């Protein structure tokens, strides 16, 4: 499927694979791995269900001895999976180990990836115990991790879980910035937009070169709007 196949009015709100607003004990992890057959600034093409099924056995063997998955657990493409990853001591280290393994697989098999990792765990915030949701997105193209160097707090957002399916951004709390509560879906959309804004920088290089040589065919920089919409549906 290419981005051009989108219909008007399709949602850009990403999805999560678990219900965060029930009782949470311990660490709750979720990851969605979307393989991409092709991605440029103007076009994205996804693998069919049959193609992903054919890749699965090889992917499973590749991941087996990476010390990333819990015993007896497997990851599938394009689906949300909860609590299958070994905890590496922090959300950053866990996501980093997964992303590095997928970058190796990408380099070996010429498969690109859109990744959405997030976890929920109890932390002490202002002397109170709160459930904190942390996001770590990534995009891998041709074996290269493109956007997530973890010091970028604007990309690795943190939220406190509130009642009535709402969350509050605490990413910049230490800087005195207080955000208003938003619905969980809106928080996911914000992370999704930050992911694509970071990816824009990667594709903007080609656009600037095209301007220099007078071959630019579009007036915008970064990802085309229809590509952003198509990727957001998979995030």
User: What global pTM score does this model have?
Assistant: 0.83
Predicted pLDDT at 1 = 37
Task: For the chain, give the DSSP string.
Answer: -BGGGPPTT-------SS-TTS---SEEEEEEEEEEEEE-SS-EEEPPHHHHHHHHHHHHHHHHTSS-BPTT----TTSEEES-BPP-SSHHHHHHHHHHHHHHHHHHHT-EEEEEEEEEEEEEETTEEEEEEEEEEEEEETTEE-S--TT-TTTS-EEEE-STTEEEE-TTGGGT--PPPEEHHHHHHHHHHHHHHHHHHHHHHHHHHHHHHT----SS-SS-HHHHHHHHHH-
Predicted pLDDT at 125 = 87
Query: Which one of 16-20, 64-68, 174-178 scores highest in mean pLDDT?
Result: 64-68
pLDDT band at 12 (very low <50, low <70, confident <90, very high): very low
Write out pLDDT tens, residues 141-153: 999 999 987 888 8
Predicted pLDDT at 135 = 95
What is the pLDDT averaged over residues 103-126?
A: 93
Segments making up each domain of the chain, as ranges: 3-234
What is the pLDDT averaged over residues 57-83?
A: 87
In this predicted structure, the answer to whether residue 117 has a pLDDT above a threshold of 80 is yes
Write out pLDDT tens, residues 18-56: 455 455 568 899 999 999 999 988 899 999 999 999 999
């Amino acid at each position: 499927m290419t981005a051009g196949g989108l219909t008007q009015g399709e949602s850009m709100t990403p999805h999560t694979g678990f219900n965060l607003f029930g009782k949470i004990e311990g660490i709750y992890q979720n990851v969605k791995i979307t393989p991409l057959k092709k991605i440029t600034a103007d076009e994205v093409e996804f693998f069919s269900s049959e193609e992903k099924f054919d890749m699965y056995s090889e992917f499973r063997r590749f991941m087996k001895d990476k010390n990333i998955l819990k015993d007896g657990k497997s990851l599938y493409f394009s689906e949300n999976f909860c609590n299958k990853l070994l905890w590496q001591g922090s959300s950053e280290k866990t996501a980093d180990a997964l992303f590095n393994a997928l970058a190796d697989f990408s380099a070996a098999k010429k498969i690109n990836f859109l990744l959405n990792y997030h976890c929920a765990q109890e932390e002490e915030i202002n002397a109170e115990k709160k459930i904190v949701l942390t996001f770590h997105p990534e995009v891998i193209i041709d074996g290269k991790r493109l956007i997530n160097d973890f010091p970028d707090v604007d990309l690795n957002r943190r939220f406190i879980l509130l009642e009535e399916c709402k969350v509050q951004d605490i990413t910049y709390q230490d800087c005195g910035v207080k955000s208003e509560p938003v619905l969980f879906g809106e928080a996911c959309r914000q992370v999704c937009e930050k992911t694509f804004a970071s990816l824009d920088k990667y594709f903007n290089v080609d656009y600037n070169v095209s301007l220099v040589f007078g071959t630019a065919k579009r007036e915008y920089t970064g990802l085309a709007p229809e590509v952003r919409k198509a990727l957001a549906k998979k995030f």
